[in-house]
Homo-oligomer: A and B are copies of this chain.
Amino acid sequence: MPAHVAGRLARPDRRAPGDLCPIDRTMQVVGTRSAMLLLREAWYGTTRFDDFATRVGLSDAITSARLRELVTAGLLERRPYREAGQRTRHEYVLTDSGTDLVPVLIGLAAWGSKHAPRDWSPVATHDGCGAEIAVEVRCGAGHEVAPGDVLVTG
């Protein structure tokens, strides 16, 4: 069931103005495989340049470029740290803005586990409680909302 659409978006043959769509705007920032996977790693707690490159399987050049983009876009913070007897280095950690994207990561993972299965997928559970987690669409009144029960007003 499709959503219901009202307002400027309702005419089926009219192009939505370029920067009107927030999905589009988000995809301009994190719409590459490398950006999403680096964010996944940051969510997993990876902070060091080499670990990002190795664990995601990206070249140094792409890792460097993408991390810098994510920092300037405000999803990651680059901050100095010093281990004992080591010189100052930088670590990359998720900002609040980056953390706001975690539900999207979980949604992508859930879709992949269900619709593009392999021998095996990681499982995400509620730490402590132990129950499996999922993303849900809910309204402010607490109802669970099906994709067909959404009204998009533009």
Tell me the A residues contacting B by CB distance below 8 Å: 1-5, 7, 9, 12-16, 18-29, 31-33, 36-37, 40, 42-46, 48, 50-51, 54-57, 74, 94, 97, 99-116, 118, 120-129, 131-141, 143, 145, 147, 149-154
Contacts and interface: CB of A to CB of B under 8 A. Distances in A.
A22 B113 contact: yes
Nearest to A74: B115
Contacts of A4: 45, 127
Contact of A122 (B20, B31, B32, B101): B20
A44 B3 contact: yes
A40 B90 CA distance: 38
Chain A, interface SS category: mixed
* Oligomer: number of copies: 2
B135 A137 contact: yes
A22 B112 contact: yes
B33 A27 contact: yes
B102 A104 contact: no
B55 A108 contact: no
Given A22-B108, A129-B139, A132-B140, 19 more contacts: A2-B45, A3-B43, A4-B45, A5-B44, A9-B44, A14-B54, A21-B122, A23-B37, A23-B40, A23-B109, A23-B112, A24-B112, A25-B112, A29-B116, A44-B152, A100-B111, A103-B136, A133-B140, A135-B136
